[in-house]
Structure 1
């Protein structure tokens, strides 16, 4: 496993580096496997990255887009990760509609929505139930509390090991999220983290010992490449022992 921490002087440099890495990983996946499967994150940090990717010259018909987590709101809701990505990136780039796979949020029961996305991923990858697909690239963010995707501290989703997708929750509100085992199967996992408010959680995540139930991003241990991309505000005074 490649585990690397890269710190950039500002958010603009961080986004530029993430852009170059994603473009390179996309081309590698398409060259080696004829397609690239990507799971995206929400939040404000990746928005300029998505805007840049919308203008890139990429093999759009070979790229399959998924999401690592989603708030349980309609796509038109301002908090929708899919809705944000659609406006900034997917409505701009010439990617086929059939290649875009948003998490369903129209089920009365979020557990049913999670099960449907689980089934959809397995079908898309041509796998049987109980299998664990390997995404080419999973993009993750991290909250001030150390959560990633919708894996929040001290929540039941952290212990789910037998499914690809489960229900997370924040402040009593359900979310749909990838599980640790699915994230850990990725060929390349990239964290994109910006801002001084992330320093405290990062210090705990990179400490020699710690508890992933308190800082869930610490629990991401992929078999493939793991890159932590930080701006200087987030990475300031970070003592890293990787």
Structure 2
């Protein structure tokens, strides 16, 4: 694994850097493997990135869109990650409809998680489920995707997709092994409210079951943490770019 930590001046610069990285990884995957699979994050931070991706001159026929997690709501619900990504990006570019593979939320959570796992297996075929790019956010409790602290989803190591739980609300999420198998992972984290969790996640003694973002340690891939200055203030007072090789 190669891990990068980049602290940008503000959210605008974070989005600009994320755009450059994302486009580069998409083009790289298409050049190397003939297509690019992306798992999207929800939340507010990636929305401006999605808006900018819509205007990029990419080979959209070869880009395939998945989701890293989804709230258990209909696709037209205001809280839907699918709805946000479609409105900000996917409805505004030439990507074929068949290349968009959202998480189903119409039956019951365990059934829909199993259905999405079959969708992933159909796409990857006899090869391991290895996304070219996964975009992630981090909550102020240290969760990522729908992998929340001290929940059963953290132990779902034998599946590709499982049911996550936020309080009493079920969600559907990729599992830790699938995320860690990705060629490239980009975290986008903004805001001073993320400082305490980031300090925990970047501390070597952190228990990942308390701060699940710590679990994201790709074995062979590249991991970028992109932070705005407010989020990263306690990690580097000056702002910097670090490349950290794993042991």
TM-score, normalisation: structure 1: 0.96
Q: Do structure 1's residue 120 and structure 2's residue 143 form an aligned pair?
A: no
Mapped contact 1:208–1:241 kept (Cα < 8 A)? no
Output the CA distance in 2 between the equivalents of 1:83 and 1:188.
Answer: 24
Checking the alignment, whether the CA contact within 8 Å between 2:3 and 2:243 is kept in structure 1 is no
**CA distance in 2: counterparts of 1:145 and 1:5, whole angstroms:** 20
Look up the match of 1:158.
154
Distance 1:142 1:237 in 2: 16
Aligned to 1:137: 133
**In the TM superposition, what are the counterparts of 1:68-217 in structure 2 within 5 Å?**
68-107=68-107, 109-127=108-126, 132-217=128-213
Ranked by relative contact order (alpha carbons within 8 Å, sequence separation 6 or more), the top structure is: 2
1: CA distance, partners of 2:204 / 2:69: 28
- SS at the partner of 2:92? coil
CA distance in 2, matches of 1:211, 1:159: 14
Show structure 1 runs of 4+ deviating over 3 A.
239-242
> Displacement, 1:126?
1.1
In structure 2, the residue matched to 1:237 is 234
- Contact 1:132/1:164, CA 8 A, preserved across alignment: no
Contact 1:41 1:67 in 2 (8 A): yes
Deviation at 1:237, TM superposition (A): 2.1
Local SS of the residue matching 1:209: coil
Q: What's the offset of the Cα at 1:221?
A: 1.0
* Cα deviations by residue, 1:160-216 (Å, 9 ceiling, x for unpaired): 100000000101100000000000000000000000000000000001211011000
> How far apart, in 1, do the equivalents of 2:201 and 2:39 lie?
22
Report the alpha carbon displacement of residue 132 of structure 1 after superposing the two structures with TM: 3.5
Q: Is the 8 A contact 1:207 1:241 kept in 2?
A: no
Gaps of 5+ in 1: none
Q: Does the CA contact (< 8 Å) of 1:206 and 1:241 recur in 2?
A: no
Distance 1:34 1:126 in 2: 15
Specify every segment of 5 or more residues in structure 2 that has no aligned partner in the other structure, as ranges.
237-241
**Equivalent residue number for residue 44 of structure 1:** 44
SS at match of 1:50: helix
Q: Is the contact between residue 34 and residue 62 of structure 1 (CA under 8 Å) also seen in structure 2? A: yes
Counterpart Cα distance in 1 of 2:89 and 2:26: 16
- Aligned pair count reads 238
Check conservation: 2:117, 2:161, Cα contact below 8 A. yes
In the TM superposition, residue 241 of structure 1 has moved relative to its aligned partner by: 10
